[in-house]
Structure 1
Amino acid sequence: MLFNSFAFLLLFLPAALLLHWLVERFRPDWRLPLLLFLSLGFYSYWDWRFAPLLATSVVVNWLVAQAFIRTGRDILIPLAVITNLLVLAIFKYFNFFADMANLIPGMQASHWDLALPLGISFFTFHHIMYLTDLKKGKAPRYDLVRYGLYIAFFPQVLAGPLVRWSEIMHQFEGRPYQRPDAEERFARGLMLLVIGLAKKVFLGDQLAQLANPVFQAATNGASVTMADAWQGTLAFTFQIYFDFSGYTDMALGIALLFGIVLPQNFDVPYRATSLQDFWRRWHMTLSRFLRDYLYIPMGGNRHGLAVQLGALFATMALGGLWHGANLTFVAWGALFGLGLGLGVLWRRAGGLMPAIAGWALTFLFVAFAWVLFRAPTFEGALKIYRGLLGLSGIGSGFKWRTILIAAAIATIGPTTWDFVFKLPARRWLVNTSAILFAVLFALVMLKLGDDGSYEFIYFQF
């Protein structure tokens, strides 16, 4: 059930909100079990066969946590983390590693045709965050319902944001509709939902129509002209932003409707003036996960320059692999690892750069890197790169209007969160905004019915 589907917007979400309101008012002790039930039902809609995996994952990891609390045996947590990663590897990377093994002369590893459970990367990382912090003595014990809801809460189970236990668990105890600002929070949640949906439908999906044919042609072996290559690259650069940030806005808005504040995931990343700045703004919850659970444990910047550069490269390469079982993703991450390493050397050497030059270089680097992220093969990526450099002809017909609008909104405008929460809570403004957002929602519904819609990009991860 896609967030941008009639089934979700017109059936599941209204029914879930009504049930949640009734339970919160008349049987508040049922609120968390209801949210867990709704979350498992939402997840089961995709494929009921995946629900037992999610439920088993929750129960087993919770039992390990209870055993660790009772016995204090340190080995339990590393074993649980390794087991979680092995399950992820089997479902997501088995064929990838089989292909790597087959590169060795004499090896004949077979493939397993396993369906990839949606959101497995995200809920695996949630387990790892809690278990790791539990071992460090930072995380407390939780009952099974609360832990299950932390892992499976439906606004964020499929594509994040990656939420730390400390950011959400205390919110489960509240009475969201009893707060003095309950109506205001609910209204702002609806605004986030509608704006995120509009970003996806009116920008992300329209940009996909400009990017997809170019990358498909390159994948099929066709030469790509300079005009087409820049159209495809820039269109995807903004498509992935509006697609993923639109999903995140919707997730934050939906969670807020149920009284839960999730962490933000984007902070106008295309205004970044360095790669380090970019990763502080792009998919922020993943960036901090990679920093806290990979980069720092590898040594970070505490053990000399060589260790820092190695940790940066390894962290970003693994971050690339997390995105998909393809060497193009690894190369994408490794490229950022090299770029971040060069940034470290530049700063250590005392290098200075005007902000405008830093922004231009950062944007070009990120856009060029997105080619590896989008192209399914290195051959296809090379076709795009040749086109970008003008080595396959100049071409014509660059479709610039949607790209220009997207670029202006992505670089000049505020984040959706800032826009929504900076609106004054004045009755006339709230009423006017409600009318405008109702019209916008109606337009989105008409667009969905007219064109259909693409699946969110990050659902494949």
Structure 2
Amino acid sequence: MENFNLFAQLLEFDFAIPLPHILLPLALSFVTFQQIAFLVDCYKKVDIRDLQEESQELDFLDYCLFVCFFPQLIAGPIVHHKEMMPQFHTLFCKAVHCKLWENLAKGLFIFSIGFFKKVFIADSFAKWANAGFKVVENGGALNIFESWATTFSYTFQLYFDFSGYCDMAIGLGLFFGIMLPLNFNSPYKSLNISEFWRRWHITLGRFLKDYLYIPLGGNRNLKYQDSKFYEALNKLLTLRNLFLVAFLSGIWHGAGWGFIIWGVLHGSAMCVHRIYGLILERFQLQKKSFLRSKTYKVLCWILTFNFLNITWIFFRSENLQGAMNLLKGMFGIVWVELPRKIRLPKLLESIDGRNDTLIYIVLAFFVCLCWGNSIKKLEAFSPNLFNTILACAFFYLALFTLASTPYTEFIYFNF
């Protein structure tokens, strides 16, 4: 409606629709997606069949429990009825009671890691990211060091914030004997945009694939492909489907123009990557030694990570002017005079940066790329005394940090 009023003003129409300023309930989009999945699965008799095989009945209380199970209610993962209800129905089995202490220990372990990621790492980056974006959104300019530090800070804030929430959700679920699906799997290790979407917000990607991409036709749009014309048309329709899914993913995150641009960029990148793959397949280049070398993989990672780092700018900025100002600062399009003494506190003065800002960024790269993710740590976890003490140490360190820092909400609470 804001956009409609804007276009009406540009076209000099003498009317404007008053905005209702509706307060949206928390987690509305996640609850909506779960219920869409439930309704579609029931229509296709997917969930019903699975439940009937286990002699379980589907009733309204089951449905309410499925929708309102709080560990994943606010920001995911987006779960299916068939993967949750069998777990709820076996909660009072003897085998589950035998694993009570093991689940509690594992839950505390993964919850503490997620809690630590959020309040100790993500919120530390949030201070520099918020300060930098505040400057550019108000029409100011940052020097090249401040600009890149701002983008890296938000890139890692988003990573550890969402990763931390996913870990905490799994931990809370384990407290009740429920194992939630994997939703985050080291996405910054990705070598291309398709791999990134298989690792980032996995259950959202699964939802969009099952309930949007495949119904649109997926990569098998035409039944008859006896000619090159049909084959080419099928590939074009596949590109259309890839773009639409990524574009609608951007709109799902928010109604701002920044989210739309972010969705368009990711949709375009998905299409370019698919075309690149088709070219390699057409000329049978996959077996070339260079394409299998470490150098090629490093180049792919650099391209993918920098694309993500740049597109997150539109995802975060509250206005397009701020996004463009930050991009100009990153690539030296605007000149900002640097201090005479090249020292970090001076170079990063506009974003309240310190000497340890660079150390945090380097450590974040190391943790994201070289450290095993928390899910692998959970799979290898054994509920012994040492691991329990380690989990408690993470928990109390995060709790102490939380008590001494201002409140910062989870980023995905906005969606």
Residue 159 of structure 1: aligned partner: 75
Structure 2 CA distance for partners of 1:313 and 1:186, relative to 1, 3 Å: same
The percent identity for this pair of structures is 36
2:182 match: secondary structure: coil
Q: Which amino acid in 2 is paired with 1:273?
A: L
| Selected match of 1:448 from 402, 411, 415 | 402
Q: Give the stretch that moved more between structures: 167-176 or 246-255.
A: 167-176
Structure 2 CA distance for partners of 1:312 and 1:105, relative to 1, 3 Å: farther
Task: Provide runs of 4+ in structure 1 moved above 6 Å.
Answer: none
Q: Give the stretch that moved more between structures: 348-357 or 379-388.
A: 348-357
How many residues are aligned here? Answer: 364
Q: Give the stretch that moved more between structures: 106-115 or 262-271.
A: 106-115
Q: Which amino acid in 1 is paired with 2:29?
A: S
Equivalences for 1:52-67 in 2 at 5 Å?
none
Cα distance in structure 2, aligned partners of 1:267 and 1:190: 20
Q: Which has the higher contact order (CA 8 A, sep 6+)?
A: 2
Cα distance in structure 1, aligned partners of 2:149 and 2:70: 35
Residue 270 of structure 1: aligned partner: 188
CA RMSD for the aligned pairs?
1.8
Structure 2 CA distance for partners of 1:400 and 1:176, relative to 1, 3 Å: farther
1:320–1:332 contact (8 Å) kept in structure 2: yes
Cα distance in structure 2, aligned partners of 1:176 and 1:404: 47
Cα distance in structure 2, aligned partners of 1:416 and 1:146: 31
Is 1:301 matched with 2:219? yes
| Selected match of 1:116 from 24, 47, 50 | 24
Residue 150 of structure 1: aligned partner: 66
Cα distance in structure 1, aligned partners of 2:10 and 2:41: 39
Cα distance in structure 1, aligned partners of 2:236 and 2:79: 31
Q: TM-score, normalised by structure 1?
A: 0.76
Compute the displacement of 1:423 (Å).
2.3
| Selected match of 1:136 from 31, 34, 44 | 44
Compute the displacement of 1:101 (Å).
6.6
| Selected match of 1:413 from 360, 371, 375 | 371
| Selected match of 1:220 from 138, 149, 152 | 138
Cα distance in structure 1, aligned partners of 2:374 and 2:79: 19
| Selected match of 1:333 from 241, 248, 263 | 263
Q: TM-score, normalised by structure 2?
A: 0.84
2:333 match: secondary structure: coil
Cα distance in structure 1, aligned partners of 2:378 and 2:193: 28
Cα distance in structure 2, aligned partners of 1:116 and 1:97: 20
Cα distance in structure 2, aligned partners of 1:155 and 1:223: 41
Q: Which amino acid in 2 is paired with 1:208?
A: A
Q: Give the stretch that moved more between structures: 97-106 or 196-205.
A: 97-106
Compute the displacement of 1:100 (Å).
6.4
Residue 25 of structure 1: aligned partner: none
Equivalences for 1:3-402 in 2 at 5 Å?
95=2, 105-106=12-13, 108-140=16-48, 142-175=58-91, 178=94, 179=96, 180-303=98-221, 304-350=234-280, 353=291, 354-393=296-335, 395=338, 396-397=347-348, 399-402=357-360
2:381–2:387 contact (8 Å) kept in structure 1: no
Structure 2 CA distance for partners of 1:144 and 1:97, relative to 1, 3 Å: farther
1:122–1:157 contact (8 Å) kept in structure 2: yes
Cα distance in structure 2, aligned partners of 1:440 and 1:177: 32
Compute the displacement of 1:392 (Å).
2.2
2:212–2:245 contact (8 Å) kept in structure 1: yes
Compute the displacement of 1:95 (Å).
5.0
Cα distance in structure 1, aligned partners of 2:22 and 2:32: 17
Compute the displacement of 1:349 (Å).
0.4
Residue 42 of structure 1: aligned partner: none
Structure 2 CA distance for partners of 1:99 and 1:262, relative to 1, 3 Å: farther
